[in-house]
């Protein structure tokens, strides 16, 4: 007896998704509520659980297909994995298969599309299921995915895992990446070309994820709709760094969380938004909506791309609450467990490009918000203090804003208020 697996409700106004990845193969045993597939919506990846315990049966849609809410995507058969494996093998022609390479040929990581097969000695562990972005990195660095410990949900590999492995073994990975000759995969690859002095050159076409398509569309809409402008200022981070150094141990001991930079910036943004409310406002039709609260969207790097979960009522939070919320978002982003509710309703965005080494940038507004603050790396630079040239840890701040709503004077004032609060953090405590 088979039980149908349907696409669950994905959130308000979302009627379809893309099947990003099958997490179980036909013939494999599944438990009740165990994830068997991953769906990509406009904002997040949603896992589809098995409604019953049994054996993964027929998969009715392929990875990359668009599916509607309520559509049947697979069937779960009754029984155990061992008993149902022969039946699944007999039905294998219904699903695409990958032929095994000869015993004398090393297994090519790209040969099985997104499912990278292990070598004979690792066969007992079964195949690794990798996302397209992780698979590309594995191929690029010439790494063996079976030797990398995954930090994602259920031990899956993330991009950070692969990058860390590549960093720890640079000498070994570079030659392997050059010598690797990927076989045709589920994505289309251009044939080798000899025009470049006899060196084989390949191209790979990978379908854009639904998340990446949505990001591309929304950012272009922002450029087409808003009258965007960016203004800059720099901040001497000496006082913030001294405060962190002085209190970090006590803070972590009391709150069980590290004291980071983001807490200072969120509190400073709340203080500045109170004095310049237009930065936290938005345009709706021919009206301007002003708010007495601040919901900060914080850009977080995830395996499938950049996501922006929202810190609700950030204006009323303390440093510990802000840091705990951000840490939780980062953990859940890597696990792919952020929900639609986590990423809707922000009124102002803070993006920290400094963690990747960015010195200066012009961030793009996230509609319907009217402004976004860009943080950058801290770098010692010569500045004049009391008539003397001294070295100070400086950071550039960038505020991109919708000039239809926010005037230049207001944008500059907002950054000046932030600069004052960060260079004298006592202002954050006594509300100046």
Residue 162 reports pLDDT greater than 70: yes
The pLDDT assigned to 331 comes to: 87
In the chain, where the domains are located: 2-205, 211-430
Residue 142 region by backbone torsions, left for phi larger than 0, else alpha for psi between -120 and 50, else beta: left
* Rounded CA separation 30/49 (Å): 10
* Rounded CA separation 340/211 (Å): 12
In this predicted model, what pLDDT tens digit does every residue of 202-261 receive, in sequence order? 888 887 777 777 778 888 888 888 899 999 999 999 999 999 999 989 999 999 999 988
How much is the mean pLDDT over the chain?
Answer: 79
Residues 114-143 have a mean pLDDT of 55
Q: Tell me if 365 sits within 8 A of 400, measured CB to CB.
A: yes
Residue 380 reports pLDDT greater than 50: yes
79 Cβ neighbours under 8 A, 6+ residues apart:
54, 55
Q: Tell me if 295 sits within 8 A of 347, measured CB to CB.
A: yes
Where does 2-205 sit in CATH, by number?
A: 2.40.50.100
CA angle at 314 for the pair 404 and 317, rounded to the nearest 5°: 155
Q: Return the HEC string of the chain.
A: CEEEEECCCCCCCCCEEEEEEECCCCCCEECCCCEEEEEECCCCEEEEECCCCEEEEEECCCCCCEEECCCEEEEEECCCHHHHHHHHHHCHHHCCCCCCCCCCCCCCCCCCCCEECCCHHHHHHCCEECCHHHHHHHHHHCCCHHHCCCCCHHHCCCHHHHHHHHHHCHHHHHHHHHHCCCCCCCCEECCCECCCCCCCECCEECCCCHHHHHHHHHHHHHHHHCCEEEEEEEEECHHHHHHHHHHHHHHHHHHCCCCCCHHHHHHHHHHHHHHCHHHHCEEECCEEECCCCCCEEECEEECCEEECCEECCHHHCCHHHHHHHHHHHHHHHHHCCCCCHHHCCCCEEEEEHHHHCCCCCCCCCCCCCCEEEEECCCEEEEEEECCEEEEEEEEEEEEEEECCCCCHHHHHHHHHHHHHHHHCCHHHHHCC
Residue 172 reports pLDDT greater than 60: no
Q: Which of 164, 144, 141 is nearest to 152 (CA)?
A: 164
Residue 407 among the catalytic residues: yes
Of residues 33, 65, 407, 424, which has the active-site annotation? 407
Q: Buried b vs exposed e over 76-106: b needs ≥16 C-beta within 10 Å?
A: bbebeeeebbeebeeeeeeeeeeeeeeeeee
- What are the angstrom distances between the C-alpha of 180 and each of 40, 71, 123, 134, 175? 30, 40, 21, 16, 9
Residue 94 reports pLDDT greater than 60: no
* Rounded CA separation 216/212 (Å): 6
Residue 314 reports pLDDT greater than 70: yes
Of residues 236, 403, 424, 431, which has the active-site annotation? 403
44 band by pLDDT with thresholds 50, 70 and 90: low
Which is more confident, 172 or 15? Answer: 15
* Rounded CA separation 60/75 (Å): 8
pTM for this entry: 0.60
* Rounded CA separation 237/378 (Å): 8
148 band by pLDDT with thresholds 50, 70 and 90: confident
The domain covering 211-430 belongs, at the CATH homologous superfamily level, to Chloramphenicol acetyltransferase-like domain (3.30.559.10)
* Rounded CA separation 106/119 (Å): 8
In this predicted model, what pLDDT tens digit does every residue of 106-127 receive, in sequence order? 333 333 333 333 333 343 344 4
């Amino acid at each position: 007896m088979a039980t149908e697996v349907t696409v669950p409700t994905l959130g308000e106004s979302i009627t379809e998704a893309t099947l990003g990845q099958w997490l179980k193969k036909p013939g494999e045993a599944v438990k009740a509520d165990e994830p068997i597939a991953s769906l990509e919506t406009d904002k997040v990846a949603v896992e589809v659980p098995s409604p019953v315990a049994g054996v993964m049966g027929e998969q009715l849609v392929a990875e990359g297909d668009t599916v509607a809410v309520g559509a049947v995507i697979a069937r779960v058969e009754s029984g155990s994995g061992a008993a149902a494996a022969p039946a699944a093998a007999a039905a294998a022609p219904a699903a695409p298969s990958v032929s095994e390479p000869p015993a004398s040929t090393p297994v090519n990581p790209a040969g099985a599309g997104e499912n990278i097969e292990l070598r004979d000695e690792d066969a007992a562990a079964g195949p690794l299921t990798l996302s397209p972005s992780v698979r590309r990195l594995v191929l690029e660095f010439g790494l063996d995915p079976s030797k990398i410990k995954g930090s994602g949900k259920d031990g899956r590999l993330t991009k950070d895992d692969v990058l860390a492995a590549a960093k720890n073994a640079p000498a070994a990975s570079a030659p392997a990446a050059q010598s690797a000759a990927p076989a045709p995969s589920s994505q289309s690859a251009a044939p080798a070309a000899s025009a470049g002095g006899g060196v084989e050159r390949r191209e790979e076409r990978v379908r854009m994820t639904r998340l990446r398509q949505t990001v591309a569309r929304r950012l272009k809409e922002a450029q087409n709709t808003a009258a965007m402008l960016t203004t800059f200022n720099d901040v001497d981070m000496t006082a913030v760094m001294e405060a962190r150094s002085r209190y970090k141990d006590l803070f972590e001991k009391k709150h069980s969380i590290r004291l980071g930079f983001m807490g200072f910036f969120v509190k400073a943004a709340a203080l500045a938004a109170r004095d310049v409310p237009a930065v936290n406002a938005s345009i709706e039709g021919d009206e301007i909506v002003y708010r007495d609260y601040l919901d900060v969207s914080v850009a977080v790097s995830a395996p499938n791309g950049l996501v922006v979960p929202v810190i609700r009522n950030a204006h009323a939070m303390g440093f510990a609450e802000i840091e705990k919320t951000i840490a939780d978002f980062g953990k859940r982003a890597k696990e792919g467990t952020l929900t639609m509710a986590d990423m809707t309703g922000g009124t102002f965005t803070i993006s920290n490009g400094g963690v990747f080494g960015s010195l200066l940038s012009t961030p793009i507004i996230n509609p319907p918000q009217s402004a976004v603050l860009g943080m950058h790396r801290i770098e010692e630079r010569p500045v004049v203090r009391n008539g003397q040239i001294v070295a100070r840890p400086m950071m550039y701040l960038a505020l991109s804003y919708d000039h239809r709503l926010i005037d230049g004077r207001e944008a500059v004032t907002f950054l000046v208020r932030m600069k004052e609060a960060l260079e004298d953090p006592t202002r954050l405590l006594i509300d100046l």
